[in-house]
Amino acid sequence: MNLADALFDGPGEVAAIEEAARRNRFPEKLLHAVAASLGVEEFEDDNGKRYWRLPEKVVPLWRYPADDDARSAA
């Protein structure tokens, strides 16, 4: 489970992310530590559901083109 990738396209429901982490035997405490290290922002919708979203400055490294790809595209 890669939290940055999971949230890259938009917010994710915290309960669903925590459940996916549990299914993959990923400790919840570590999940929250990763979220904090990424600067993940938490908010609630009108129904009280909690969501996480990435701050705008976070882009997973694999989303950047490799040097060779950038040179061949030029």
So what's the pLDDT on residue 41? 95
Q: What digits encode the pLDDT tens for the residues 28-42? A: 999 999 999 989 999
User: Whole domain around residue 48: which residue ranges?
Assistant: 3-56
Q: Decide if 54 contacts 17 (C-beta within 8 A).
A: no
So what's the pLDDT on residue 36? 94
The answer to whether residue 13 sits within a structural domain is yes
The stretch 43-50 carries a mean pLDDT of 97
The answer, yes or no, to whether residue 57 has pLDDT greater than 80, is no
The answer to whether residue 73 sits within a structural domain is no
* First-to-final CA distance of the chain: 34
* Number of compact structural domains in the chain: 1
The answer to whether residue 22 sits within a structural domain is yes
Q: Which residues of 18-28 are buried (b: 16+ CB within 10 A; e: fewer)?
A: beebeeeebee
So what's the pLDDT on residue 56? 79
CA atoms of 65 and 10, how far apart (whole Å): 21
The answer to whether residue 63 sits within a structural domain is no
| High-pLDDT (> 70) share of the chain, % | 74
